[in-house]
Amino acid sequence: MEVRQLNEFIPLAWQQQEQKKTTAAQSESFSDVLKQALNEVNELQLKSQQDAVALAVGEIEDVHQALITMEQARLALELTVQVRNKLIDAYQEISRMQI
């Protein structure tokens, strides 16, 4: 059990919530977090695809919301690709290390 000093400037309820978040975050593995993030990106892509089809058919009245959804999906995919590139670069850098 970890004992931490309470900060008198931060409300106690916020400190307790923060402790719960860190405990929950510590119990999740990296692969679980990665899978969850990829599932969220996939859901955004599917929603964007549905909105694009509905926009083409003329079923959507709020064009702005459809475009916002499509842009969110595009940005999420772009971020995912950049994270993948960084992971590959890190792996290659580690594999080049001399032991």
pTM, entire model = 0.65
Instruction: List the chain pLDDT tens, one digit each, 99 residues.
Output: 555 655 565 566 666 666 666 655 567 888 898 899 999 999 999 999 999 999 999 898 889 999 999 999 999 999 999 999 999 999 999 999 987
The answer to the question of residue 91 being in a domain is yes
- The answer to whether 49 touches 72, Cβ cutoff 8 Å, is no
* Count of the separate structural domains present in the chain: 1
pLDDT, residue 44, reads 93
| Residues contacting residue 48 through CB under 8 Å, at least 6 positions apart | 69, 70, 72, 73, 74
- Confirm whether 10 is domain-assigned: no
Q: Are 54 and 36 in contact (CB under 8 A)?
A: no
- Residue 42, number of CB atoms within 10 A of its CB: 14
13 within some domain: no
Residue-number span of the structural domain to which 44 is assigned:
31-96
How far is the CA of 92 from the CAs of 73, 82, 89, 96, in angstroms?
29, 15, 5, 6
